[in-house]
């Protein structure tokens, strides 16, 4: 609205300023003095002859340092521009009728709760390009009609507390904000446009944008995104494509992913703890009260649900659950849900002693240790039996046990086999002997008749 009036004034002022009166010297007052433009005049104080009936006043691009309580008499003033001046603090004593207040490019460093207390009709507040480092909690809460708030280009390191629920457009770009405060954002049920680009955000907490039902545009570019497990919520949220927003978020860390687009990465490269999509998880995971079971452990949604349940448990609770597990060979956590840091925390937790953690070992561990530390027992059965007796019990169970009945059966089988071989050999020898004897007899019968014929 203000922009339209200023644009109109550029064409109307040359003629209107010649005919209208009263009007401050050097200013332009088109219409019936409802709009007064006193810009770029080098003013160090407000003009004294501004009509009290003015509804829109612009004293932008001057050298004003203090206007406290000078504008209170303008009871009908709805639009005020004090931009591009030298104001060191938020002006006091402004008329409650104001609906639009422009204070961009001043030197304001702090916003107190009392500065905005009377401005309950404000719908637009522009504080762009100041030096604001802090906004007192509750300073904005009384602005029940505020729709547009611009805090771009300041030095905020965190979100202001107690935003008014009426906000529809919020610009926090070009600050030093490093984290998003969930309570501050959750109250913005009417927020439609959020600009928080060019800040120091490294990740986005879980469910950050889920409480903003009317959000339709978000700008998160030019932040210090760390493309690790904590950014998975933002990664999935971007992939959902529910909003119109810039998705070219560039990773700053870790080093091997720097300068790469977040959405060009896979979940495994972002968070190696997460299993591959088709990999099955055969081991159960613990919830705070019961074992969590999923129909398809390989899907992303099931894994994310499990990760959320596990991550919500305190470390000590995880250790207690680990202690209460049955003594089985199934481990309580998989590589996906138990990080190295959590594993170390079990060792330093006061509520879980090393003795308690030992209860999850195999039942035969103690027996194995005793057998390994004990001297090898002596045995007179055989050299093989003596060698095996010195092994741990768990290994002995895997080796065949020396059974006398088994040896007798084996011996009888060997003996029978040997007897059979001997019988066969004996039969062959007898056949050979008989063959030799037959040949000898045949030879003798041939020799005897020949001798008898020679004698006769």
Nearest to 60 by CA among 6, 117, 124, 1: 6
Point out the least confidently predicted range of 64-73, 277-286, 429-438. 277-286
Q: Which residue has the higher pLDDT, 3 or 428?
A: 428
Average pLDDT of the segment spanning 401-429:
75
Average pLDDT of the segment spanning 126-152:
94
Average pLDDT of the segment spanning 211-219:
90
Q: What are 193's strand-pairing partners?
A: 169, 217
Q: What is the number of other CB atoms lying within 10 angstroms of the CB of residue 21? A: 10
* Band of residue 415 on the pLDDT scale cut at 50, 70, 90: confident
pLDDT averaged over every residue in the chain: 74
* Band of residue 293 on the pLDDT scale cut at 50, 70, 90: very low
Rounded Cα distance, 90 and 88, in Å:
7
* Band of residue 408 on the pLDDT scale cut at 50, 70, 90: low
Rounded Cα distance, 35 and 19, in Å:
15
In this prediction, residue 115 carries a pLDDT of 87
Point out the least confidently predicted range of 5-19, 132-146, 189-203, 408-422. 5-19
In this prediction, residue 201 carries a pLDDT of 95
Beta strands in 78-136 (DSSP E): 79-81, 100-102, 110-111, 124-126, 134-135
CA distances from 148 to 154, 163, 332 (A): 16, 11, 51
* Band of residue 108 on the pLDDT scale cut at 50, 70, 90: very high
Average pLDDT of the segment spanning 120-140:
95
Q: Is the pLDDT of residue 396 over 70?
A: no
**pTM (2 decimals)?**
0.58
In this prediction, residue 161 carries a pLDDT of 87
* Band of residue 175 on the pLDDT scale cut at 50, 70, 90: very high
Q: Is the pLDDT of residue 410 over 90?
A: no
Q: Is the pLDDT of residue 364 over 50?
A: no
Q: Is the pLDDT of residue 347 over 90?
A: no
In this prediction, residue 6 carries a pLDDT of 40
pLDDT tens profile 53-96 = 899 999 999 999 999 999 999 999 999 999 999 999 999 999 99
In the chain, what percentage of residues exceed pLDDT 70? 61
Beta strands in 7-160 (DSSP E): 35-37, 56-58, 79-81, 100-102, 110-111, 124-126, 134-135, 148-150
In this prediction, residue 376 carries a pLDDT of 38
Phi, psi of 3, rounded to the nearest 5 degrees: -60, -40
Q: Is the pLDDT of residue 401 over 50?
A: no
Give me the long-range contacts of 257-261 (CB less than 8 A, separation at least 24). Answer: 257/227, 260/227
Burial bucket for residue 56 (CB in 10 Å: 0-12, 13-18, 19+)? buried
Q: Which residue has the higher pLDDT, 288 or 167?
A: 167
Phi, psi of 137, rounded to the nearest 5 degrees: -55, 130
Point out the least confidently predicted range of 36-45, 271-280, 357-366, 439-448. 357-366
């Amino acid at each position: 609205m203000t922009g339209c009036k200023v644009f109109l004034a550029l064409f109307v002022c040359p003629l209107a300023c010649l005919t209208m009166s009263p009007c401050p010297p050097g200013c332009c007052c088109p219409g019936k003095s409802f709009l007064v433009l006193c810009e770029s005049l080098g003013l160090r104080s407000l003009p004294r002859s501004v009509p009290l009936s003015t509804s829109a006043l612009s004293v932008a691009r001057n050298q004003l340092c203090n206007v406290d309580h000078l504008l209170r008499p303008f009871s009908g003033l709805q639009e005020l521009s004090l931009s591009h001046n030298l104001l060191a603090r938020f002006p006091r004593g402004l008329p409650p009728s104001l609906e639009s207040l422009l204070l961009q490019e001043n030197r304001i460093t702090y916003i107190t709760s009392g500065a905005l207390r009377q401005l309950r009709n404000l719908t637009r507040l522009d504080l762009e390009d100041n030096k604001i480092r802090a906004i007192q909690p509750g300073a904005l809460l009384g602005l029940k009609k505020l729709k547009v708030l611009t805090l771009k280009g300041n030095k905020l390191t965190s979100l202001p507390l107690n935003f008014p629920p009426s906000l529809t457009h919020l610009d926090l770009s070009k600050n030093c904000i490093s984290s998003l405060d969930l309570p501050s954002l959750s109250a913005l049920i009417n927020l439609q446009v959020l600009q928080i680009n060019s800040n120091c955000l490294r990740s986005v907490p879980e469910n950050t944008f889920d409480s903003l039902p009317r959000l339709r545009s978000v700008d998160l570019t030019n932040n210090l995104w760390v493309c690790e497990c904590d950014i998975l919520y933002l990664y999935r949220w971007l992939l959902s494509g529910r909003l119109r927003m810039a998705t070219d978020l560039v990773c700053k860390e870790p080093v091997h992913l720097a300068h790469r687009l977040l959405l060009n990465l896979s979940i495994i490269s972002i968070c190696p703890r997460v299993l591959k999509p088709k990999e099955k998880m055969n081991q159960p995971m613990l919830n705070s009260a019961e074992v969590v079971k999923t129909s398809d452990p390989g899907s992303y949604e099931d894994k994310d649900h499990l990760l959320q349940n596990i991550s919500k448990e305190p470390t000590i609770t995880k250790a207690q659950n680990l202690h209460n597990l049955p003594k089985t060979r199934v481990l309580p956590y998989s590589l996906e849900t138990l990080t190295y840091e959590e594993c170390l925390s079990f060792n330093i937790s006061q509520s879980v002693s090393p003795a308690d953690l030992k209860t999850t070992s195999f039942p035969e561990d103690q027996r194995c240790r005793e057998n390994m530390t004990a001297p090898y027992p002596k045995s007179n059965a055989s050299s093989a039996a003596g060698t095996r007796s010195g092994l741990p019990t768990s290994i002995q169970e895997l080796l065949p046990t020396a059974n006398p009945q088994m040896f007798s059966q084996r011996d009888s089988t060997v003996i029978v086999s040997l007897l059979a071989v001997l019988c066969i050999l004996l039969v062959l020898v007898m056949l050979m002997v008989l063959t030799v004897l037959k040949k000898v007899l045949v030879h003798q019968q041939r020799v005897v008749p020949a001798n008898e014929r020679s004698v006769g």
